[in-house]
Amino acid sequence: MLSRIKAVTKKEIKQLFRDKRMLFVILFFPVFLLGVFGYAVNFDVKNIQLAIYDSDKSPESRELINYLTSSNYFQAVKYISADSEIKETLDEQKAQVVLVIPNDFSEKLGRGNEEIKIQYLIDGVNGNTATIIYNYVKSATFNFGTKYQQSRLASLGKQAFVPVNLEPLFMFNPELNSTKFLIPGLIAMILIVTAVITVSLSLVREKEKGTIEQLEISSLSTLEILFGKTLPYVLISLLDAVFILVAGYLLFDVVVKGNYFILFISTMIFVISATSMGIFVSVISDTQQIAFSIATFLSMLPSIILSGFIFPIESMPYVIQLVTNISPAKFFIIILRAIILRGVGLEAFWTQLIYLILFAVLFLVMATIASKKKALAK
């Protein structure tokens, strides 16, 4: 049996090496996708376009403006001189937020016993970005007020006392870098798309060329054919995983904190479950065009929308949360984030590995049933 599987695998590898373009796409396109998605898909909001309407025009108001614009988060793009310009600035998207400083800002700040109201008009079309901008301006304004109060008390020979001081500590991702959060999801998405599409196209290609019948009437069993045809793509997917991890480290400084051996075993189980999906697609497809469309639909869309890669599953309705179980990428992303970001062991995600194994078995059984039905129909 092993010698026959080896023969089919050798044939598939030779055929793959003859197709240089396909080989290039399989090996290097995943790394290219990682770079593009890693830089493009980013929830960090920087260089926020800030318009300023300073009615006070005092040293204190300029100090507030300088405090905001001295960071990488705000960029002063326009100074407004009249109320009528505020709406126009937001309507024409010349700025994302408008800072309005009242004309009694320095006077109230100097007295130190009155509440000062500073207005921020934020473009709320993109709700996620608007929320982030709001948190930024709220934090920056609070910090400015605290520092100003401390310096004022220091000039009077007094020291500010804070009865309750908040000291947050962010675990696993101290910089709150969204790219590090997204990289595991990118790895899962790229691997499942690569594995499903390549395996399904490889098997359907044999159908189109008419060579699948020659394999079926040979001494090879169906299991031996499937093992021999898919084994090269399993190995290539594992190699892609190595390339992606190296690229993630070089481009985004993503370091694997957990055990490499557990990561390898988990990746292999995931790739096997992905190739089982590719086998199922090849059974129900008669042409490479149909196989490519179905494989893309089954692998890419669920891995982007329903896997927790970008959108948190916990925020979805309960029915949709149940639907997310159709994608093995969901379980693999949980595993990757546990190993790469948290550095935890098998005890934290062993149930996800069981789900992946069940997923592989389910699609192989479905592929076997569909294949038998097609054989009976002939």
In this structure, the answer to whether residues 306 and 280 fall within a common structural domain is yes
Relative orientation angle of helices 260-284 and 222-252, to the nearest 10 degrees: 130
For residues 340 and 338, what is the distance between their CA atoms, to the nearest angstrom?
A: 6
Which pLDDT score, from 0 to 100, does residue 312 have? Answer: 86
Residue pLDDT, tens place only, 308-346: 888 889 888 999 999 999 889 999 999 999 999 999 989
For residues 292 and 189, what is the distance between their CA atoms, to the nearest angstrom?
A: 16
> For residue 151, is pLDDT > 90?
no
Residue pLDDT, tens place only, 18-37: 777 777 777 787 888 888 87
In this structure, the answer to whether residues 131 and 204 fall within a common structural domain is no
In this structure, the answer to whether residues 137 and 235 fall within a common structural domain is no
Relative orientation angle of helices 222-252 and 2-18, to the nearest 10 degrees: 50
Which pLDDT score, from 0 to 100, does residue 12 have? Answer: 77
For residues 96 and 91, what is the distance between their CA atoms, to the nearest angstrom?
A: 10
**Letter for the amino acid at 316?**
M
Do residues 88 and 42 touch, judged by C-beta distance below 8 A?
no
Of all residues in the chain, the percent with pLDDT exceeding 70 is 92
Residue pLDDT, tens place only, 6-15: 777 887 778 7
In this structure, the answer to whether residues 289 and 187 fall within a common structural domain is yes
CA angle 348, 192, 221 (to 5 degrees): 105
pLDDT band for position 164 (cuts 50, 70, 90): low
In this structure, the answer to whether residues 10 and 112 fall within a common structural domain is no
What is the span of the domain harbouring residue 338?
2-42+178-377
**Most confidently modeled range among 39-48, 91-100, 230-239, 367-376:** 91-100
pLDDT band for position 359 (cuts 50, 70, 90): very high
Which pLDDT score, from 0 to 100, does residue 231 have? Answer: 86
Computed on alpha carbons and rounded to an integer, the radius of gyration of the chain in Å comes to 29
Closest Cα to residue 185, out of 369, 22, 344, 335? Answer: 335
Would 173 be classed as within a structural domain?
Answer: no
In this structure, the answer to whether residues 22 and 105 fall within a common structural domain is no
Which pLDDT score, from 0 to 100, does residue 232 have? Answer: 85
Do residues 355 and 265 touch, judged by C-beta distance below 8 A?
no
Q: How many domains does the chain have?
A: 2
φ, ψ (nearest 5 deg) of residue 275: -70, -30
Which pLDDT score, from 0 to 100, does residue 288 have? Answer: 87
Q: Which residues pair with 99 in a beta bridge?
A: 52, 120
Residue pLDDT, tens place only, 189-246: 889 988 898 888 888 887 777 776 666 666 677 677 777 778 888 888 888 888 888 8
For residues 322 and 324, what is the distance between their CA atoms, to the nearest angstrom?
A: 5
